[in-house]
């Protein structure tokens, strides 16, 4: 149950796109289509942004999209806005009802 | 409106025990998988444990198995985390959260801070 690997930081100007990778193994990301992404603003609880690799909960802007290839999942934020500046975490099922989170990526809007 | 409110955190000495509680409202608690996730100061999220709606199945991260136990009381709409043999590196904010049918944690509490220090 090692943490999934994410880049520590990513950045983009308003209106641009930023992509965040999440690399696991064939026992977690590669094995299941249960990858989720969470957004966390400082001092706040995390918020679910993407589930089952590509799906958005009600209320999440379609600027947020997810994908997966092999052992690596990705979150793309298009049309960056100031309020998108936050920490982002991926998560994957790791067998049974066990889960693992990513190391987290701080997104900065320049 | 879904609400999850944690309590029970505080300062405890290494080797001590603590029991965290989470009271849920706004949804059918007994039908939902629930979980605990922790976040050490300035660090990332770490999944801790899950429990099925009827309490019949629990899972826990390998590194905490034997020290942490998740349980629930559906009559009280409450989730618990019993933490024993606490260590300094267990210091964290502990969040309870609901697993939606989407296999994502769709509602989170604000968390309760546990500080393990002598």
Give per-residue pLDDT as tens, A61-98: 999 999 999 999 999 999 999 999 999 999 999 998 89
Instruction: List the end-to-end C-alpha distance of chain A, in Å, as a whole number.
Output: 34
Residue A64 in contact with partner chain B when CB distance is under 8 A: no
Strand partners, B94: B38, B112
Say if A45 is an interface residue toward chain B (CB within 8 Å).
yes
For residues B77 and B38, what is the distance between their CA atoms, to the nearest angstrom? Answer: 21
pLDDT surpassing 80 at residue B101: no
Q: Do B104 and A91 touch (CB under 8 A)?
A: yes
User: How confident is the model over B27-40, as a mean pLDDT?
Assistant: 96
- For residues B79 and B96, the answer to whether their CB atoms sit within 8 Å is yes
In this prediction, residue B14 has a pLDDT band, given cuts at 50, 70 and 90, of: very high
pLDDT, tens digit, 9 for 90 and up, residues B53-94: 999 999 999 889 889 999 999 999 999 999 999 999 999 999
CA dist., res. A34 & res. B14, Å (int): 36
CB–CB contacts below 8 A, A to B: 74
By the 8 A CB rule, do A4 and B73 touch? no
């Amino acid at each position: 149950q090692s943490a999934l690997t994410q880049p520590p930081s990513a950045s983009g100007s308003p209106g641009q796109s930023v992509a965040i990778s999440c690399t696991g193994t064939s026992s977690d990301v590669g094995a299941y289509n249960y990858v989720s992404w969470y957004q966390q603003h400082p001092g706040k609880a995390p918020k679910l942004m993407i589930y089952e690799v590509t799906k958005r909960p009600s209320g999440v802007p379609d600027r947020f999209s997810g994908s997966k290839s092999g052992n690596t999942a990705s979150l793309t934020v298009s049309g960056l806005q100031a309020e998108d500046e936050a920490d982002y975490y991926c998560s994957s099922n790791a067998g049974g009802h066990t889960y693992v989170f990513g190391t987290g990526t701080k997104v900065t809007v320049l | 409106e879904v609400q999850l409110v944690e309590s029970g955190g505080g300062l405890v000495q290494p080797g001590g025990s603590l029991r965290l509680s989470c009271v849920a409202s706004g949804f059918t608690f007994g039908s939902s998988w629930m979980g605990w996730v922790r976040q050490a100061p300035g660090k990332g999220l770490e999944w801790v444990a899950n429990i099925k709606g009827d309490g019949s199945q629990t899972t826990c991260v390998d590194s905490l198995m034997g020290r942490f136990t998740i349980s629930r009381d559906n009559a009280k709409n409450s989730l618990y985390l019993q933490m024993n043999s606490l260590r300094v590196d267990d210091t964290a904010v502990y969040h309870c959260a609901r697993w939606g049918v989407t296999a994502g944690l769709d509602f989170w509490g604000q968390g309760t801070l546990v500080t393990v220090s002598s």
